[in-house]
Amino acid sequence: MKQLAIGILGLTLTLGGARAAESVSVPATQGGSATGTARRLLPDDADKAWSMVEAEGKPPAPPAEWKGRQPTSDEVKAFRQLKATGSGIGADKAREFQERFKDHPKAAEAKRLYRELLEVAVSLGNEGKVSELQALGPDPAKAQEEVAAAAVGAKLQDAVAQSRKLQSQGMEAVLGEFEKRLMVLEKEFPERGEIYAAYLEIAQLRGGEKSKELMAKILKSDKVPPQIRAMAEGIQKTQERIGKPLNIAFTATDGRKVDLAQMKGKVVLIDFWATWCGPCVAEVPNVVAAYERLHPKGFEIVGISFDEEADALKAFTAKHKMSWAQYFDGEGWKNKFGSEFGIRGIPAMWLVDKKGNLRDLEARSDLASKVEKLLIEP
């Protein structure tokens, strides 16, 4: 049975074992937190003022010096303090905007941003903003959202529980039952994005034409959250690659030249993975075993690493006897091929046939048997 575990389903379902990452951002503005609006922080031009306020809600990229290495705990602490101060100043600007430019179209958004930045500042330890946040009282919109989320969440969990009763009949029966129950919930909660997130999970597990149908359903709706839509678009684009050649060429970490176009006649596994990804590491023994047994018959592997530290990658592959070529550029989730092919979860394993065409997007399941079938094709 495939392993699944994204929050909504709880069917042991996972979106590729993607690592949760904490990012630390440098605040756009540094210095002490403003109190009140006695000292103006914004210009008299309302549109220019809004540009400054809006910028506070967009966290900048992590420090360049952190690229390719793990920051120390002291560095993280220092930047958290800077962000706490910066968020406090951002809150001051947002409050000033809504007070000075009450008739501006962005006044309501400034009010929302004011609370959000206060919450960020306080959560990061800006004690000077605690009383200001408390004075705002509970957020009615957030409370309403929490009630709605709890209602749909409870119904989804019940649908999961009922669907899992069919596990003895196999995963296909479980997913089919869950999809039927989702269709009922979709009518009850037509505005909730969680329903489409669950549809997306089913689509990723079922594959084939059923997956394509669900992707089309998701993308047709105007209720789909942006993140889910982006994921669905990426998966749909990937599905369209089936039966077509992949353009992959690079110099591997060991200096080898790799060009998929020159590997026709071989069955090739494209393994998107990382040493920090638990599910990826768990698959290594299976992949190594398949490689050692089938490599003499024409099976090759091309690794696409999502690591950010070359030494860690080289040490891991040497230790685990992963002798095939590895692509590495140190960009993590932004690496060249991961971005080009819309990879949003790892491990992701694709199989390319002897003619050089992509044939399977779910090679993780029954890898060896799938490779053997492709090897006997003309």
CATH label of the domain that carries residue 302:
3.40.30.10
Please say if the pLDDT value at position 217 is more than 50: yes
pTM of the predicted model as reported, rounded to 2 decimal places: 0.54
Q: Write out the two tokens for 57.
A: 């809600």
CA–CA distance, 71 with 69 (Å, rounded to integer)? 6
Average pLDDT over residues 126-142: 87
Domain hosting 129: range is: 46-137
Per-residue confidence (pLDDT) for residue 275, from 0 to 100: 94
Number of compact structural domains in the chain: 3
Whether residues 199 and 295 fall in one domain? no
Whether residues 265 and 226 fall in one domain? no
CA–CA distance, 138 with 142 (Å, rounded to integer)? 8
Whether residues 149 and 234 fall in one domain? yes
Q: Are 175 and 206 within 8 A, CB to CB? A: yes
94, 114, 137 - which closes a domain? 137
CA–CA distance, 112 with 109 (Å, rounded to integer)? 5
Average pLDDT over residues 222-243: 83
DSSP letter for each residue of 205-223: HH-HHHHHHHHHHHHH-S-
pLDDT digits (tens, 9 = 90+) for 251-273: 999 999 999 999 999 999 999 99
pLDDT digits (tens, 9 = 90+) for 142-179: 777 778 788 888 999 999 999 999 989 988 899 999 99
Per-residue confidence (pLDDT) for residue 341, from 0 to 100: 87
Average pLDDT over residues 100-111: 92
Per-residue confidence (pLDDT) for residue 313, from 0 to 100: 94
137, 157, 190 - which closes a domain? 137
Whether residues 362 and 276 fall in one domain? yes
Whether residues 220 and 153 fall in one domain? yes
Average pLDDT over residues 125-144: 86
> If you ran DSSP here, which 8-state letter would residue 60 be given?
P
Residues 6 or more apart whose CB falls under 8 angstroms from that of 317 comprise 253, 303, 323, 326
CA–CA distance, 234 with 212 (Å, rounded to integer)? 12
Identify whether 181 is part of a domain: yes
pLDDT digits (tens, 9 = 90+) for 10-63: 333 332 333 333 222 223 333 333 334 457 889 999 999 999 988 877 766 677
Q: Are 277 and 17 within 8 A, CB to CB? A: yes
Percent of the chain exceeding pLDDT 90 equals 45
Residues counted in the chain: 378
Residues 6 or more apart whose CB falls under 8 angstroms from that of 170 comprise 1
78, 109, 137 - which closes a domain? 137
Whether residues 231 and 323 fall in one domain? no
Other C-beta atoms lying within 10 Å of the C-beta of residue 173? 14
Q: Position 283: which residue type?
A: E
Whether residues 179 and 288 fall in one domain? no
